[in-house]
Amino acid sequence: MTERAWTAFCAARERYRAYTETLAKTLGGGCIQRLVDGRKGPSYTVETPVLYNYALDEVDRRADVRLILVADNPGRREQAAENRRYLVGPSGKIAEKFFREQLGVDFRRQVLILNKTPIHTPRTAELRELCRLGGESAARAVSESQRVMAELLFAFQKALSPEYAAKPAGAFPSARAALPVWIIGYSEMKKGGLFEGYTETIKSLYATSPLLERLFFYRHFSMNQFTIDLNKQRRPEEDLAPCLKRIGEAYRRRFLQM
């Protein structure tokens, strides 16, 4: 990265870290622990109720970041103190294999992973129950976190796009040169969904930006949904790259109406 790009990346990373630390103090882990203890399934000790992705601390100026991937929220394995990274469970293993075998990309070194919210729940759908248990303050935290994470995505994409350093302050890199973003798990991004707030912020940020053309939406890697959908939609003799572009653009237009 150039000096300017590195400075912008570090600023976004530090905002991300500081925000998760502040949110953890505000939200606390009590309501999340009550959620875990009261649900069907195994209970466990919540170690990181609000999770910054510590994998970002391993990114330096020489990093060869090829893509930004946005998942939902940290699950049980992600929040464990021994991990504190995003997508390290079964879905992450499926994604890691796909990127390595189909794209020739090192998922852990060349993909920057973000979430739509850094707030942990055992399953994403249980964010609704968390809002009920925690009341207005928890609901507000979940909503506000989506806005911040969408803003951070925008900041990271600009910082990591090759043309960033050559543009005047405040200008965007061209769509052709911008770093691609994969947003996976779009079902809850619809109106009334858990991540409607994330969707609305994305629409506002990207409305007049050429970076919109580098946003691609896909099914989640959990339960192999991504691969099943890819195989279903891939046309005979269609190369992988144009197929991924076509699918990702179609889902983006469908959910953002942009």
* Tokens 């600023």 -> residue: 11
**Contact (CB, 8 A) for 29 and 49:** yes
Q: At 161, is the pLDDT very low, low, confident or very high (cuts 50, 70, 90)?
A: confident
- Return the closest-CA partner of residue 71 out of 25, 26, 107: 107
| pTM strictly above 0.85 | yes
The pLDDT score that the predictor gives to residue 4 is 86
- DSSP at 157: H
Average pLDDT rounded to a whole number, residues 29-38: 95
Evaluate if residue 51 carries a pLDDT over 50: yes
- Return the closest-CA partner of residue 244 out of 182, 176, 185: 182
